[in-house]
Amino acid sequence: MKFFWTILLLIILGSGVLIFKNRTPEEKKEPIQIHLRSKDGDFRLSDQAFSITLVYFGFLSCPDICPSTLNSLSAILKDLNEEKLSKIRVLFIDVDPERDDISRLHDYVTYFHPSILALTGTEKELLEIAGKFYATFQKVPLDSEMGYTMDHSTGIYILDGENIWRETIPHGVSKEIFMSYLNKYF
């Protein structure tokens, strides 16, 4: 009986690995197209020229994950020399367009670092872009004045200079591990 459960566990784990493998960026060899709005108007990723683009999905009233991620990004960006900083673009893509205003989003993200760009769009546009990264977000009702919060993916997605999604940095990694991801693309 123990042998049966061991084999069953291996089959389940193996299936999980195959499913996860199918959701990695290796299949995504075409450039990611992002066309949203910033404080300054239309933004098209294809019009940008950076060696690395980091994409993060978040929202203005996020209580903990977004601020801690932006804090980590800020620390990384502050440690980069001018040459490396000029080669990297960080996009904060809003997942709560119903409540978040682009001017307030801009003020919020630039508080952490002036080079972080806040972007927003319609819910349909945001869902389409999130889907390109297998990222998710959804409203979660709250019994409070806020009425709801947003559940969202917490990874940071790395695009290379051709805007091809290469890797995802998991939430909460150390500064050293974060830099090891970035150094592959500088």
* 33 is a domain residue: yes
* 18 is a domain residue: no
Tokens of 11: 């089959």
* 84 is a domain residue: yes
Q: Which range marks the domain in which residue 141 is found?
A: 29-183
pLDDT at 2: 57
pLDDT at 19: 42
Could you tell me how many helices (H) and strands (E) the chain has, helices first? 6, 9
Under 8 Å between Cβ of 33 and 121 = no
pLDDT at 92: 99
* 12 is a domain residue: no
pLDDT at 16: 44
Under 8 Å between Cβ of 66 and 59 = yes
Closest to 90 measured CA to CA, from 51, 41, 123: 51
Low-confidence ranges of the chain (pLDDT < 50): 4-22
pLDDT at 5: 42
* 14 is a domain residue: no
Q: What CATH code is carried by the domain that includes residue 71?
A: 3.40.30.10
Distance CA 98, CA 59 (A): 11
* 9 is a domain residue: no
Rg (CA), the chain: 18
* 17 is a domain residue: no
The pTM (predicted TM-score) of the whole model is: 0.85
* 56 is a domain residue: yes
Q: How many domains does the chain have?
A: 1
